[in-house]
């Protein structure tokens, strides 16, 4: 299977799933939203697994474990979303620059802020990271769809 075949199959599968959703839901859920959920569900699992290994296995401080796990997962997310999910209309250098800015803001405000805030309130770090993950999913999808990978001047439904 070639790279193009994998992309076509992935997008086709997402479009097929969206096509069988109830009508009201179909008007809200774009195939790229489902694709984002699949890709980022996988990379979030990588993030949590790596976080647990780094903090519990290697004894790294929470901030270091979150940073390494998050950086690894989001690099993987960029590659998979660019390849499978979103049209790479802009040059990759522009996309990487935009993505780094979005990830930095997300990391500082949501990942560290929400995670550490909930841990300080007594939540286990894994649960705190899950809660932060829910917040970042909404922010990151919107940022990737319309800012990082979006077509310049376009609001096309993908």
How much is the pLDDT for 68? 93
The closest of 59, 84, 93, 97 to 5, measured between CA atoms, is 84
Q: Return the half-sphere exposure (C-beta side, CA atoms, 13 A cut-off) of residue 146.
A: 8
pLDDT tens readout for residues 69-115: 988 998 999 999 988 988 766 678 888 999 999 989 988 888 889 88
Query: pLDDT tens digit string along 18-67?
Result: 999 999 888 888 898 899 999 999 998 999 899 999 999 999 998 899 88
Please report the pLDDT score of residue 5 as a whole number.
86
Domain spans, the chain: 3-148
- Angle among Cα 105, 39, 83 to the nearest 5 degrees reads 90
Does residue 118 surpass a pLDDT of 60?
yes
Q: According to the model, what pLDDT value does residue 157 have?
A: 46
CA pseudo-torsion sign 9, 88, 97, 109? negative
Residue 151: DSSP 8-state: P
Mean pLDDT over each residue of the chain, to the nearest integer: 87
CA angle 100, 32, 114 (to 5 degrees): 45
Q: In which residue are the tokens 């805030």 written?
A: 117
* Alpha carbon of residue 150 to chain centroid: 15
Higher-confidence residue of 109 and 123: namely 123
Q: Model confidence at 7, in pLDDT bands (50, 70, 90)?
A: confident
Confidence (pLDDT) at 109: 86
Distance CA 32, CA 70 (A): 22
* Residue 77, C-beta contacts closer than 8 angstroms, at least 6 positions apart: 39, 40, 43, 140
pLDDT at 158: 47
136 class by beta-carbon count within 10 Å (0-12 exposed, 13-18 middle, 19+ buried): buried
Is this prediction's pTM over 0.85?
no
Apex 12 CA angle, 106 and 143, nearest 5: 15
pLDDT higher than 70, residue 152: no
pLDDT confidence band for 16 (50 / 70 / 90)? very high
């Amino acid at each position: 299977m070639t790279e193009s075949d994998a992309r076509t199959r992935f997008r086709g599968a997402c479009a097929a799933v969206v096509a069988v959703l109830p009508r009201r839901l179909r008007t809200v859920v774009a195939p790229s939203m489902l694709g984002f959920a699949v890709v980022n569900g996988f990379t979030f699992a990588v993030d949590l697994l790596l976080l647990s290994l780094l903090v519990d296995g290697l004894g790294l401080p929470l901030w270091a474990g979150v940073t390494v796990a998050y950086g690894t997962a989001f690099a993987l997310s960029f590659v998979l979303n660019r390849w499978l999910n979103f049209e790479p209309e802009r040059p990759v250098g522009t996309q990487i620059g935009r993505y780094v800015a979005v990830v930095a803001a997300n990391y500082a405000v949501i990942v560290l802020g929400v995670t550490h805030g909930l841990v300080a309130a007594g939540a286990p770090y894994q649960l705190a990271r899950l809660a932060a993950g829910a917040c970042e999913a909404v922010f990151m999808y919107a940022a990737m769809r319309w800012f990082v990978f979006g077509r310049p001047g376009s609001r096309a439904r993908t």
